[in-house]
Amino acid sequence: MTAERRVTLTREQLRFIYERMTLIREFEERLKKLVDTGLPVGAVHYYSGEEAVAVGVCAALQPNDWITSTHRGHGHCIAKGVDVRPMMAELYGKVTGTNRGKGGSMHITDVTVGMLGVNPILGMGTTHAIGAGLSAKVLKDGRVTASFYGEGASSIGAVHESLNMASIWKLPIVFVCENNGYAQSTPVEYAIAVANIADRAAGYGMPGVIVDGQDAIAVWEAADAAVRRARAGEGPTLIECKTYRYHGHASSDDPHRYRTTEEEDRARARDCIKRFREHVLTRHLMTPAELDEIDARNGALIDEAVAFAEESPLPEAWELTTDVYVPAGPGAGL
Amino acid sequence: MISAAPRELTFTQALLEAIRLEMRRDPTIIVIGEDVAGGAGREKPEPEGWFAARGRGLIAEFGSERVIDTPIAEMGFVGAAVGAAMTGLRPIVDLSFIDLIGVCYDQIVNQAAKMHYMMGGKVTMPMVLRTTYGSRPGSTTYGGGAAAQHSQTMYAVLAHVPGLKVVVPSTPYNAKGLLISAIRDDGPVVVLENKFLGAGARGQVPEEAYTFPIGQAEVVREGRDVTLCAIGRMTRMCLDAAARLAAEGIEAEVVDVLTLAPLDEDTILESVARTRRLVVVDEDTPTASMARDIAARVADKGFDYLDAPIKTVTAPEAPVPFAAALEKFYAPTADSIAATVHDQLGR
C-alpha cells in the first residue's frame, strides 16, 4: 500500500482511542474480578492486552460502518460504541441486556451502533462481513465493514472463502486478523504454515499489512488507509495485528500450562495503554489531568454498569420461547 | 384478489416467476449462489443447462449486483446471505442440492436460525434458502442416477432447528405462492423443490404475485376411511394411491403438509379425527424423520381419534443407490402406499 499522504489523528480521535482502550481494560478487569469471585457468567474470553486492535480500527470507522467479531468480542463491542450497561447486564443474564439475556458474552450484538454480533463459531463473522459488503454495494450507502478474526480462525474454510469473495467483488471490507499467538493453547507456529497471516493476502489478491497490534496509533494508520481504500471502491485489505492476550483463552483457562510468565511480562512491558499514554504525554497531545479524568470516568461507568446489571430484573420464564421465529412481517400474507 | 388468467407453468417456471416479480417490486432482493447468473463476468451471461432454468433472465433484467454468481463456497455465500439479511438486503440464496448442506450447515443452524433469538429479538433475518431434494422414482426416465450424495431428502435436519421455517411446495401454484411468502417473510425460510415431480410439475398459475400461507397444511382430497399425510412429491403419490383405493371402495383423505416447520398440527389432527386412521408418507429416511415426528404428534395429541396404529411409508434406512434398478425402489410409490393402507385396514 502506498501512503501518499500522512494523515494524523485529530484530538477527538486521540481522546477516543484512550477512552475506549481504557474502558475496555476496566470492563474486562472488573469482570474478571467478578468471575474469579464467583459471578456465574459462563464462558468469557477477556480482551485485555488486545485493546489497541479493536480501538485503532474503530477509530478509523464512521459510526454507521459495520463490524463483525469473534468469540473474544467485548473489546470490539466497546470500541464500536455498545453501551457498557446493557453489555454487563447481558453477562448477568438480565432482561435489560443487549440480547435480553439470551445471548451472553459470546453473542453480544447491537446493530444500532453497527455491531453485527460477537460470534463464537470461529470465522463465521468474515462471511457475514461479505453480506454487509454486498449490502453496501446494492444499497450504495458507502458503509465499510471491519471484520475481526483471530489467527486461529484464519485456518477455517469460511475465512478463505470470504477473503476470496471480498476480493473478486471488490467489497468495502477491512479484514483484521488479531494474531495473539495462541488458538486456545495451540501456538501459531504449529498451526499456520506461513510466518505471517498477512502473507496469505497475496493468495486472495489483496494487500496484506502487518502492524504492531500493541500500538493503537500504528493500527489506526493501517486501518485508516484500508478504510479509505475500501470506501473508494478499491476493495478489501488484510491487516494482521500482532498482539497478545493477557489472560487465558477463556475464564477457565490457565495460560501457564502452555506459556511462560517471562513471555507474558515481555508482552505487558509493551502494554498498549501504557505506550499510548507515553506517546501523547511526551508529545503534549493530551495532559495528565485529561487522561486521569478519563480513567476516573471509566471507573464510574463500570461501577454504574455493574450496579445496573445487579439491579436489573431477570427474564420471566415465558421468555424461554419468545423470539424463536422472526415475525413474518406485513408483506408475507399471513 | 387474483384476477389475471392462469396459464400452465412448470414448477421451476413458477418459482422463477415468483423471484422475478418480487425483484421488480423490491430493489433490496438479491439472488446469490453458484451459477445463478450463468457465466457472470462474460459479456452476455445467460444461464444454460438444468440449473439454468432456475435463474434464466434474472441477470439480464436485474444486473450482476443483484444476481450474484459465487465461487464454490457454500459456507461463505450462505454466510454472506446471513450478513446481507442483517444489513438491509433480502437475499435469496440458491443451494443447488440439499446434499450440500453439510458444508454450510453452521450458517443455517447456528447463524440464520438463531440470530433473532440469541439477540433478544432485535435483529431480523429476511433470507430465503432454496434448494432441491429427492431421488428418482421408477416411473421417471429423466435425471436420477446421482447416487448417495446428490439425491437425498434430508429436510428433517432443517425442520429440527427452532427458528427456521421450512416449506415443501408440491404444485406450481403453491410453489409460487410459498416462495413469495418466503421472500416477504422477515425470518429465514427454506424452500425445498423436489427434482422429480413428473406430472405434478405442471399446473395452472396466475400471472400476478400472490402469497400462500406458510405454516398451513392443505386437505387436497377428502375421504372418510384413512388420512394420507404427505410431503412434496409424495402428495402426488398419495393422490394416485387414493384414486386406486377409491376404485376398491376405500376413501382416502390426502393432507399435503406443505410446511414442515412450524407444522400445522391442527389440520392433520382434524383430518385424523374424521378418518380415524393415519398413514404418513415421506421419502426421507425413517429415523428421526418428519414421518415419525408427525406420527408421534398424532399419537400424543390425537390417540383417542385412532382406530388403528399409525403407519409410516418412507425410504429405507439406506443411502440412495446409483443403479436405476435399485433407485426405483427407494422412494415410496402409489403401490407401496396403497399396500400400507390395505395392511392398516385389514382389507
Q: Which CATH class for the B218-345 domain?
A: alpha beta
Give DSSP secondary structure letters for A296-324: HHHHHHHHHHHHHHHHSPPPPGGGGGTTS
pLDDT at B201: 86
Q: Is the pLDDT of residue B53 over 80?
A: no
Q: How many percent of chain A have pLDDT more than 90?
A: 94
B116 assigned to active site:
no
In a domain, A6, yes or no: no
B246 in Cβ contact with B214 (< 8 Å) = no
Instruction: Tell me what the mean pLDDT of segment B277-305 comes to.
Output: 98
Smallest Cβ–Cβ distance between B120 and the set A103, A121, A134 belongs to A103
In a domain, A316, yes or no: no
Please give, rounded to a whole number of angstroms, the shortest distance from the CA of B81 to a CA of chain A: 6
Q: What is the largest CA-CA distance in chain A?
A: 65
CATH number (domain holding residue A257): 3.40.50.970
Any A CB within 8 A of B65 CB: yes
pLDDT at A3: 45
pLDDT at A41: 87
Best of A95, A112, A127 to substitute, by most chain B Cβ atoms within 10 angstroms, is A127
CB contact under 8 A, A111 and B122: yes
ipTM above 0.90, yes or no: yes
Q: Which residue on chain A is closest to B85 by alpha carbon?
A: A131
Any A CB within 8 A of B62 CB: no
Strand partners, B31: B67, B92
Smallest Cβ–Cβ distance between B30 and the set A99, A138, A162 belongs to A138
**Residue of B201 and A164 predicted with greater confidence:** A164
pLDDT at A4: 47
Smallest Cβ–Cβ distance between A139 and the set B88, B107, B124 belongs to B88
Q: Is the pLDDT of residue A270 over 70?
A: yes
Instruction: Tell me what the mean pLDDT of segment B108-125 comes to.
Output: 97
In a domain, A62, yes or no: yes
Any A CB within 8 A of B215 CB: yes
Instruction: Report pLDDT digits (tens) over A91-110.
Output: 999 999 999 999 999 999 99
A165 in Cβ contact with B70 (< 8 Å) = yes
Q: Is the pLDDT of residue B134 over 90?
A: yes
A98 in Cβ contact with A129 (< 8 Å) = no
Any A CB within 8 A of B211 CB: yes
In a domain, A56, yes or no: yes
B317 assigned to active site:
no
Instruction: Tell me what the mean pLDDT of segment A201-229 comes to.
Output: 98
pLDDT at A111: 97
pLDDT at A63: 97
- Domain segments of chain B as ranges: 8-205, 218-345
Q: Which residues of A touch B85 (CB under 8 A)?
A: 131
Cell 480500527 -> residue: A57
Give DSSP secondary structure letters for A203-268: HHTS-EEEEETT-HHHHHHHHHHHHHHHHTT---EEEEEE---SS-SSTT--GGGTS-HHHHHHHH
Instruction: Tell me what the mean pLDDT of segment B163-181 comes to.
Output: 98
CB contact under 8 A, B80 and A97: no
Number of structural domains (chain A) is 1
In a domain, A95, yes or no: yes
Any A CB within 8 A of B172 CB: no
Q: Is the pLDDT of residue B183 over 50?
A: yes
Q: Which residues of B touch A130 (CB under 8 A)?
A: 76-77, 79-80, 83
Catalytic residue among B22, B74, B253, B327: B74
pLDDT at B47: 54
In a domain, A239, yes or no: yes
CB atoms within 10 A of CB A287: 11
CA distance A122 to A151: 10
Instruction: Report pLDDT digits (tens) over A60-99.
Output: 999 999 999 999 999 999 999 999 999 999 999 999 999 9
Instruction: Tell me what the mean pLDDT of segment B319-323 comes to.
Output: 96
Catalytic residue among B22, B150, B193, B253: B150
Which three-class secondary structure state does DSSP give residue B193?
Answer: strand
CATH number of B8-205: 3.40.50.970
- B39 pLDDT tier (thresholds 50, 70, 90): low
Instruction: Tell me what the mean pLDDT of segment A237-254 comes to.
Output: 95
Please give, rounded to a whole number of angstroms, the shortest distance from the CA of B275 to a CA of chain A: 28
- A1 pLDDT tier (thresholds 50, 70, 90): very low
The pTM of this model reads 0.95
Q: Is the pLDDT of residue A251 over 80?
A: yes
Q: Which residues of B touch A67 (CB under 8 A)?
A: none
Smallest Cβ–Cβ distance between A103 and the set B30, B78, B119 belongs to B119
Q: Which residues of A touch B63 (CB under 8 A)?
A: none
pLDDT at A129: 98
Chain mean pLDDT for chain B: 94
Q: Which residues of A touch B211 (CB under 8 A)?
A: 332-334
Instruction: Report pLDDT digits (tens) over A24-59.
Output: 999 999 999 999 999 988 889 999 999 999 999 999
Instruction: Tell me what the mean pLDDT of segment B134-141 comes to.
Output: 88
In a domain, A323, yes or no: no
Which grid cell is B152?
437425498
Q: In terms of residue numbers, what domain contains A175?
A: 20-310
Please give, rounded to a whole number of angstroms, the shortest distance from the CA of B38 to a CA of chain A: 16
CA distance A216 to A41: 29
Q: Which residues of B touch A128 (CB under 8 A)?
A: 79-80, 82-83, 86, 111
Question: Same CATH topology for B8-205 and B218-345?
Answer: yes
Which three-class secondary structure state does DSSP give residue A293?
Answer: helix
Any A CB within 8 A of B105 CB: no
Instruction: Tell me what the mean pLDDT of segment A193-222 comes to.
Output: 97
Instruction: Report pLDDT digits (tens) over A137-189.
Output: 999 999 999 999 999 999 999 999 999 999 999 999 999 999 999 999 999 99
pLDDT at B143: 82
In a domain, A248, yes or no: yes
CA distance B46 to B31: 15
Q: Which residue on chain B is closest to A326 by alpha carbon?
A: B187
Phi, psi (5° rounding) for residue B332? Answer: -60, 150
Please give, rounded to a whole number of angstroms, the shortest distance from the CA of B15 to a CA of chain A: 16
Q: Which residue on chain B is closest to A96 by alpha carbon?
A: B120
Strand partners, A150: A178
Please give, rounded to a whole number of angstroms, the shortest distance from the CA of B105 to a CA of chain A: 12
